[in-house]
Structures are given as C-alpha cells and as structure tokens.
Amino acid sequence: MMLEERHRGKQVFIRMMTPPDRLNAVKVIAEDEERTVVLLQLYNQSEDADDLLPQNSICIIKESFLKVTTDGAYSLRVDYVGDITQLLVKDERI
C-alpha cells in the first residue's frame, strides 16, 4: 500500500487482534494476510459501531487509506462503515 493514498478498487483482508477501543475513532490492532500488524481506525461512526470490529473477526476493507499518525506511526483509516465487511467463519474467502 502507498502512504496517504486512497486505494480505490482495492480490498484487503484483515483480522482484528484486539478488542475495539474508542477515543476519537473506533480503534483496533489488526493484521493483514502478510502478517503485517497495523492500527485500524474507524472514523465518523455512532457509538454502536464498536460492535463492528470484534476481536478475532476477519474483515474485508475496501478503498483503504494508509496514513501517518501524529506520532509518526502508520494506521489504516476507514471513514465509511460500508467499506468494512465482516466475514463469517465458514466464508470461502477465508
């Protein structure tokens, strides 16, 4: 992924490694298919959005945006809940 670029037409599979936490966004540590670990931040969501990212769930993120945070780390930013699809355990894509 390229930094500070919206990846239109692309998707990434990720596994939620921690329970979600909410500050200014719903935040969770996630791991992609290549075992790269990154902070996932889900912005602009209501309070019930915390349930969208349960620990150990596997999701597809569409149109991902990899950004540099204020402390210099990287995070995967999602602004639209419609860009996340949680997969069922028996989903053939897993």
Instruction: Note the pLDDT tens digit of each residue in 37-62.
Output: 999 999 887 776 667 788 999 999 98
Q: Which fold has domain 11-87?
A: OB fold (Dihydrolipoamide Acetyltransferase, E2P) (2.40.50)
Angle at 47 between CA 44 and CA 52, to 5 degrees: 80
In a 3-state reduction of DSSP, which class is residue 49?
A: helix
Whether 7 has a pLDDT exceeding 70, the answer reads no
pLDDT at 49: 63
Domain boundaries, the chain: 11-87
pTM above 0.95, yes or no: no
**pLDDT (tens digit, 9 = 90+) per residue, 61-91?**
988 888 888 888 889 999 888 889 888 777 6
